[in-house]
């Protein structure tokens, strides 16, 4: 379950921010997770609860915002939204696509005290 290591990295970023910005508690973390990031969202929530124990983020709400998938279509020269990385272009039916969005995992913002 690579979500656990993702959560550990997330807590490292939160702890670094707490030291730098001088806050002592995190109430909520809004996390953007792309559709193509390969993350199981329920495992991410479970992992976050487990790895935040004893940190400034203990008890914080993890709000996951799913970012849609996007790709550049070489056939119609347009950026299109995709539900599945292997789907054809919804505009022209082409299959020569380069993913351009939906692969990210990033903290959008945090509510801190």
Does 22 carry a binding-site annotation? no
User: What are the residue ranges spanned by the domains of the chain?
Assistant: 1-112
If the chain, 113 residues long, is cut into consecutive pieces of 10 residues, what is the mean pLDDT of each piece? 92 98 98 96 96 98 97 98 95 97 97 97
CATH class of 1-112: alpha beta
Strand order in the sheet with 61-67: 61-67, 26-34, 105-112
Does 77 carry a binding-site annotation? no
Does 2 carry a binding-site annotation? yes
* pLDDT at res. 95: 97
């Amino acid at each position: 379950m690579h979500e656990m290591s993702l959560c550990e990295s997330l807590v490292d970023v939160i702890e670094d921010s707490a030291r730098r910005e001088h806050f002592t508690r995190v109430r909520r973390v809004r996390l953007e997770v792309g559709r193509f990031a390969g993350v199981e969202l329920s495992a991410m929530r479970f992992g976050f609860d487990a790895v935040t124990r004893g940190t400034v983020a203990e008890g914080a709400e993890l709000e996951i915002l799913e970012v849609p998938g996007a790709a550049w279509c070489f056939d119609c020269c347009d950026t299109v939204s995709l539900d599945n990385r292997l789907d054809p272009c919804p505009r022209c039916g082409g299959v020569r696509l380069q993913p351009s969005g939906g692969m990210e995992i990033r903290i959008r913002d945090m509510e801190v005290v």
